[in-house]
Structure 1
């Protein structure tokens, strides 16, 4: 691209101009996706208390007395579920006053959905009948918010929006921090504070820098369960041996393939559900014996789930308390001998697997309880405020009609050759590691070139007149 009348500046100045232009483009085009992800994320992390209130009748019971057998509770739920429902898991009441959750798979349910019947463990009274979602078994209200955050209720095509936001958030954050640091040492920081445009820019920069570590965390953890970038991350982890251990449910194999962290996110389908047949239903009478074996083997969290075996496979007993301290141990139990055949204890996970587990749970606002919820909500609100101030900066500094703007490609062309190569390689690496970011970068460049050419043509027309 040629025709830039401005004299060449120093390489450092040109690099700053390029980063400023890239930051501007990311904010302008990805800003709406960041706003949507932040808003829906804030709503999601604030739902646990609201969910307790909305579904109190199903989750709690006022009856007194000792809990009856799990097998009998499952049988009471099965009488309500009907013949087409296939029992696949039971979550015993985690505390006095809580209900037991008995989960079924039915043909009419969607992917990753199951039907949960909530049973009073003392009286067998059915307290609720709800569709729950994913391995976390989240309830309908939070399921809607989960889909809203993940795909804007658009299904699989909508997942690209959240991946786009996560892919560019770290780039926008690092670029913003660099620009803030450069401006802090330049003349801009000493100009009149009453200037409205400068006040907006300073506030935008201050918010971004203050939240930068949290925003980088959100970007990194969000990418772990995205579709395309998540696949790249899983492949990298597999190659480096950073996989999350899992139990083997096969009665003929000594070890199982490792299971990625996607299986722990609400979006994942319940493992072991697909293909289960009615042979597993007869095993329900052994639920109490299986639980006793698991307790004797060290499963000590009150939040435990028992999954019925498929033909030729073992029972799966897993903890699902992902608050701090994390309790997600799991083990397999042979239905013939009631012996533990495989186990995966969180204490024995590799450090990277633990960090990923903690990172995902913190992202979802469940690792440290209310404090975690408040922190994630503050990050989301701060991101929304920063994005809105970014649009205000753009509006306050929009070019006059007929002005010829500096384009992103033009800024790159003014860099020193070696810097151009480094930037091009970095962009290529970005496009490979984060495919959605790569495609959107190509779209940025196309829009950039078209916008620059349109502005140049308009300027020439005005000059001719």
Structure 2
């Protein structure tokens, strides 16, 4: 059996934290790289989508624009059996009209020439490039199961970052070399150690911010927040972000945005002229683009105008009576519950839309540093791992857990329920490995820890 070196209390703590950092990293590294790469691409969605849609945004003039009713009729005709889901208000007269129609629960985006009514393109909404990247990033294209996997990995990434900060903290070291910048001429071992440590310190705060602002989208945490808000009475209307890749259960006209869901019930027939009056109301109130216009879901109900601006604080929602064009209600971002506003700011920052291109650059730099952090950690492990073993740090006597640390772990488990549940699962699994799977526990590097019990 492996001998255990006696360490002072501080050394035992360092060793214990190092081991948790190692195991968290082994779980998280593939996810960190995946999420960083897909997230970095998604940050530049406005520019890239504009580039992809450039053939439909500068059309040659060819007479007066057709009525909105005629444009919708052309879109419905090209997708037989469909109903109107969203009318996307064009930003300029020479821009194709994007009309979302739904058939058998699937949304189709139809590009219609605003004057000739020619159909320029028909695309399945959920198969558009950035909807695919959205699902790859948040769900691994595996639906709710993928969302839970991503959320669990991000929870353990928090553990990896926090334990990494503890390991990074300079203890009696002089100078900033190896602390804030790497030593590039001290051999490969110190080179990769310093790259890992310095990338970690520079990226940790931004990475934690990205994780916390991304949690509302997660299936587990987003549903958890919804339940808490229902219990505490802090819910005020539907949220305008998806949970687990799908909008919360709500009326279609209440804020589920383009491409974020499909109609749950058949819409009534659209009366001639109503859409034109709603379009006029949207232009009069200068709703931040892109502007989504949703038909009523039942006879006599108002139309809905929603801003789908990436910068969430610019968003507003209106209800308009189609028969008269009268504004029934208007909800600006400032009128939302403070929790919704806080999440809105966080979501906008997460998507790189809160303060323009600087936000996108900071987000991209954070993603690149996360890749460096994960990659350098993988290289360090690969270079140091013993043959036939996982290569976990050599275990030592475990320090006693104080009330403060247990309280902190409990608080983190309450805030991140999947972390708490997975931590309990890991501890139970560890017990089973000790008892029934000796070869596995030796491979994982847990043998010596058992010897100390």
TM-score normalized by the length of structure 2: 0.81
Question: Could you tell me how far 1:439 is from its partner in structure 2?
Answer: 4.2
Q: Does 1:361 align with 2:348?
A: yes
Q: Does 1:38 align with 2:36?
A: yes
Is the contact between residue 223 and residue 243 of structure 2 (CA under 8 Å) also seen in structure 1? no
Counterpart of 1:131?
124
Counterpart of 2:218?
226
- For the residue of structure 1 that corresponds to 2:125, the secondary structure is strand
Counterpart of 2:169?
181
- Aligned partners of 1:374, 1:189: CA distance in 2, in Å? 26
Is the contact between residue 84 and residue 100 of structure 2 (CA under 8 Å) also seen in structure 1? yes
Counterpart of 2:319?
332
- Which range is displaced more, 187-196 or 152-161? 187-196
Select which of 379, 384, 388 maps to 1:392.
Answer: 379
Question: Could you tell me how far 1:242 is from its partner in structure 2?
Answer: 5.3
Select which of 260, 266, 275 maps to 1:287.
Answer: 275
Select which of 242, 247, 263 maps to 1:274.
Answer: 263
Alpha-carbon displacement from aligned partner over 1:195-251 (angstroms, at most 9, x marks no partner):
4322211211111111112101111012111111222233345556654x5xxxxxx
- Which range is displaced more, 189-198 or 203-212? 189-198
Cα 1:389–1:360 shift into 2, 3 Å: same
Gaps of 5+ in 1: 134-138, 246-257, 460-465
Question: Could you tell me how far 1:96 is from its partner in structure 2?
Answer: 3.1
**RMSD in angstroms over aligned alpha carbons?**
3.6
- Number of equivalenced pairs: 426
Equivalent residues in 2 for 1:38-437, closer than 5 Å: 38-63=36-61, 65-82=63-80, 84-107=81-104, 109=106, 114-133=107-126, 140-183=128-171, 185=173, 194-238=186-230, 243=235, 245=236, 258-263=237-242, 267-268=246-247, 272=252, 274-279=263-268, 281-283=269-271, 285-296=273-284, 298-312=285-299, 313-323=301-311, 326-335=313-322, 338-398=325-385, 414-417=398-401, 419=402, 421-437=403-419
Is the contact between residue 36 and residue 367 of structure 2 (CA under 8 Å) also seen in structure 1? yes
- For the residue of structure 1 that corresponds to 2:85, the secondary structure is strand
Question: Could you tell me how far 1:64 is from its partner in structure 2?
Answer: 5.1
- Aligned partners of 1:330, 1:27: CA distance in 2, in Å? 43
Is the contact between residue 178 and residue 197 of structure 2 (CA under 8 Å) also seen in structure 1? no
Q: Does 1:441 align with 2:406?
A: no
Cα 1:380–1:186 shift into 2, 3 Å: same
- For the residue of structure 1 that corresponds to 2:25, the secondary structure is helix
Is the contact between residue 63 and residue 123 of structure 1 (CA under 8 Å) also seen in structure 2? no
- For the residue of structure 2 that corresponds to 1:283, the secondary structure is coil
Question: Could you tell me how far 1:339 is from its partner in structure 2?
Answer: 3.0
- Aligned partners of 2:69, 2:445: CA distance in 1, in Å? 77
Is the contact between residue 92 and residue 305 of structure 1 (CA under 8 Å) also seen in structure 2? yes
- Aligned partners of 2:266, 2:389: CA distance in 1, in Å? 70
Is the contact between residue 404 and residue 455 of structure 1 (CA under 8 Å) also seen in structure 2? yes
Counterpart of 2:8?
9
Question: Could you tell me how far 1:301 is from its partner in structure 2?
Answer: 2.9
Alpha-carbon displacement from aligned partner over 1:56-92 (angstroms, at most 9, x marks no partner):
334442225553321222122223222x101122112
- Aligned partners of 2:418, 2:211: CA distance in 1, in Å? 14
Question: Could you tell me how far 1:371 is from its partner in structure 2?
Answer: 3.4
Question: Could you tell me how far 1:319 is from its partner in structure 2?
Answer: 1.5
- For the residue of structure 1 that corresponds to 2:378, the secondary structure is helix
Is the contact between residue 402 and residue 458 of structure 1 (CA under 8 Å) also seen in structure 2? no
- Aligned partners of 1:86, 1:19: CA distance in 2, in Å? 57
- Aligned partners of 1:20, 1:228: CA distance in 2, in Å? 28
- For the residue of structure 1 that corresponds to 2:241, the secondary structure is helix
- For the residue of structure 2 that corresponds to 1:301, the secondary structure is coil
Is the contact between residue 432 and residue 438 of structure 1 (CA under 8 Å) also seen in structure 2? yes
Cα 1:434–1:261 shift into 2, 3 Å: farther
Counterpart of 1:253?
none
Question: Could you tell me how far 1:288 is from its partner in structure 2?
Answer: 1.0
- For the residue of structure 2 that corresponds to 1:262, the secondary structure is coil
- Which range is displaced more, 352-361 or 219-228? 352-361
Question: Could you tell me how far 1:428 is from its partner in structure 2?
Answer: 4.2
